């Protein structure tokens, strides 16, 4: 349903598993490498002093794609308990899975075929057990009773057993409108480009997926007071510690068609609702000239019994190329879902096998 363009890459070859470095690919950021205690998330370094823009703000400008994070699940496998990092054996197993999946691209090329190998960007194996670092078990908090009620009302092509009769039976991503927040800041199987632009008093985060742009004022204006909702929310930013951009986002568009999390290892049916009390706080901390530690804390007391936090290690890649997200053009899948769903229901009504 969604069209992405596959970037060429080579199969990863893994070595030195205990230290978490790669023969090909990018080594683990030293600031986020595992220590002796695998249950402890390293503190985010605050001592790096980034270059400044001509108007005196920390310079975050550049390309920061997150395709390398595709192999890291949103939620932790329960058997891994409170471990932030994989054991050596677990990492070797993940590396082998990623390498095998990455080889599908070359296999399709040699067989003159086009399939999932060209579609899915596998990323790099990571020592992290999950993107979630809070709660301690690396799992999303339980939903409230109201959250569960709203989840049951959601519509999406991701949901099993759903019937389709009109456009309202699809979510905003199905319809090529938006991936929304917080999903847009999490890795997906394709179109993971992120580029940051800055002007005096403003930061713009440009996203390859659906080509949306988050416009974030950093000029000291007060918190959002209007009741205007937006798929990406309404954001305000400020600078802390000389190297950290802090962004607070409210006024997220709620409703059964809003996308929510939707990333590897997240709830598989896109059934996490968003209420008008949802609030996102992001921290972009430069830890070196080519590295950012990105943290997002999401709270929605209507839906979740507690807040949750993810941490992603960004790597600069200024030559990363955005490809067209040609979703609207020729998007016949909405119609196909509806017509096939109607036909299936008609057959069942008539007793046709």
Domain ranges of the chain: 51-82+131-341
Name the nearest CA neighbour of 132 among 310, 295, 312, 283.
Answer: 310
User: Is pLDDT at 17 greater than 60 in this prediction?
Assistant: no
- Mean pLDDT, rounded, for 225-248: 91
User: Confidence class of residue 1 from pLDDT cuts 50, 70 and 90?
Assistant: very low
> Higher-confidence residue: 254 or 351?
254
> Is the predicted pLDDT of residue 353 greater than 70, yes or no?
no
Which residue reads 């960007």 in tokens? 121
pLDDT at position 158 is 83
User: Mean pLDDT over residues 293-304, rounded?
Assistant: 97
**Tell me: the pLDDT tens digits for 70-83?**
878 899 999 999 99
**What is the pLDDT, as a whole number, of residue 108?**
81
Please state the rounded mean pLDDT for residues 12-33. 41
Question: What is the reported pLDDT for 166?
Answer: 92
Strand partners, 128: 85
Q: Does pLDDT of 121 surpass 90?
A: no
Q: What is the pLDDT of residue 352?
A: 65
% pLDDT > 90, the chain: 50
Strand partners, 202: 199, 217
pLDDT band, very low/low/confident/very high, at 271 (cuts 50, 70, 90): confident
What number is the average pLDDT over the span 102-125?
Answer: 77
User: Which of 5-14, 68-77, 301-310 is the least confident region?
Assistant: 5-14
Q: Are 232 and 181 in contact (CB under 8 A)?
A: yes
Mean pLDDT: which of 53-67, 158-172, 262-276, 334-348 is highest? Answer: 53-67
- What is the mean predicted confidence (pLDDT) over 89-95? 88
Q: Assess whether pLDDT exceeds 70 at residue 30.
A: no
3-state helix/strand/coil string of the chain: CCCCCCCCCCCCCECCCCCCCECCCCCCCHHHCCCCCCCCCCCCCCCCCCCECCCCCECCCEECCCHHHCCCCCCCCHHHCCCCECCHHHHHHHHHHHHHHHHHHHHHHHCCCCCHHHHCCCCCCCCECCCEEECCCCCCCCECHHHHHHHHCCCCCCCCCCCCCCHHHCCCCCCCCCCCCCHHHCCCCCCCCEEEEEECCEEEEEECHHHCEEEEECCCCCCCCCCCCECCCEEEEEEECCCEEEEEEECECCCCCCCCCCCCCCCCCCCCCCCCCCEEEEEEEEEECCEEEEEEEEECCCCECCCEEEEEEEECCCCCCCCCCCCCCCCCHHHHHHHHHHHHHHHHHHCCC
List the one residue out of 77, 84, 96 whose CA is nearest residue 265: 77
- The pTM for the full model equals 0.87
Ranges 51-65, 102-116, 196-210: which has the least confidence: 102-116
Please name which of 91, 75, 146, 88 lies closest in space to residue 124, comparing C-alpha atoms.
91
- Taking every pair of Cα atoms in the chain, the longest distance, rounded to a whole number of angstroms, is 72
Q: What is the mean pLDDT of residues 258-279?
A: 80
CA 214 centroid distance within chain: 15
How far from 160 is each of 154, 188, 269, 344, CA to CA, in Å?
12, 20, 7, 15
- pLDDT at residue 7 greater than cutoff 70: no
């Amino acid at each position: 349903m969604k069209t992405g363009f596959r970037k060429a890459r080579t199969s990863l070859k893994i070595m030195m598993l205990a230290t978490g470095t790669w023969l090909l690919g990018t080594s683990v950021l030293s600031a986020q490498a595992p220590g002796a205690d695998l249950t402890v998330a390293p503190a985010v370094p605050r001592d790096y002093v980034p270059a400044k823009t001509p108007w005196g703000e920390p310079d975050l400008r550049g390309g920061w794609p997150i395709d390398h994070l595709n192999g890291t699940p949103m939620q932790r496998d329960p058997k891994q308990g409170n471990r932030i990092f994989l054991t050596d054996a677990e990492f070797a197993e993940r590396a082998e899975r990623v390498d095998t999946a990455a080889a599908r691209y070359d296999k399709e090329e040699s067989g003159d075929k086009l399939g999932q190998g060209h579609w899915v960007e596998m990323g790099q194996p990571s020592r992290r057990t999950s993107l979630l670092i809070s709660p301690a078990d690396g799992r999303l908090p339980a939903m409230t009773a109201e959250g569960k009620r709203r989840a049951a009302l959601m519509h999406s092509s991701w949901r099993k057993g759903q019937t389709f009769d009109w456009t309202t039976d699809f979510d905003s991503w199905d319809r090529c409108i938006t991936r929304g927040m917080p999903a847009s800041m999490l890795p997906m199987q394709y179109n993971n480009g992120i580029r940051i632009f800055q002007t005096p008093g403003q930061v713009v985060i440009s996203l390859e997926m659906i080509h949306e742009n988050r416009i974030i004022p950093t000029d000291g204006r007060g918190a959002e007071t209007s009741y205007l909702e937006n798929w990406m929310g309404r954001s305000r930013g400020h600078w802390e510690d000389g190297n950290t951009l802090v962004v607070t986002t409210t006024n997220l568009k709620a409703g059964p068609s809003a996308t929510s999390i939707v990333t590897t290892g997240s709830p598989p049916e896109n059934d996490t609702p968003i209420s008008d009390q949802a609030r996102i706080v992001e921290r972009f901390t430069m830890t070196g000239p080519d590295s950012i530690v990105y943290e997002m804390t999401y709270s929605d007391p209507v839906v979740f019994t507690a807040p949750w936090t993810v941490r992603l290690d960004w790597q600069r890649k200024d030559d990363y190329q955005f490809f067209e997200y040609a979703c609207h053009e020729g998007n016949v899948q909405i119609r196909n879902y509806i017509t096939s769903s109607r036909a299936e229901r008609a057959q069942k009504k008539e007793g046709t096998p």
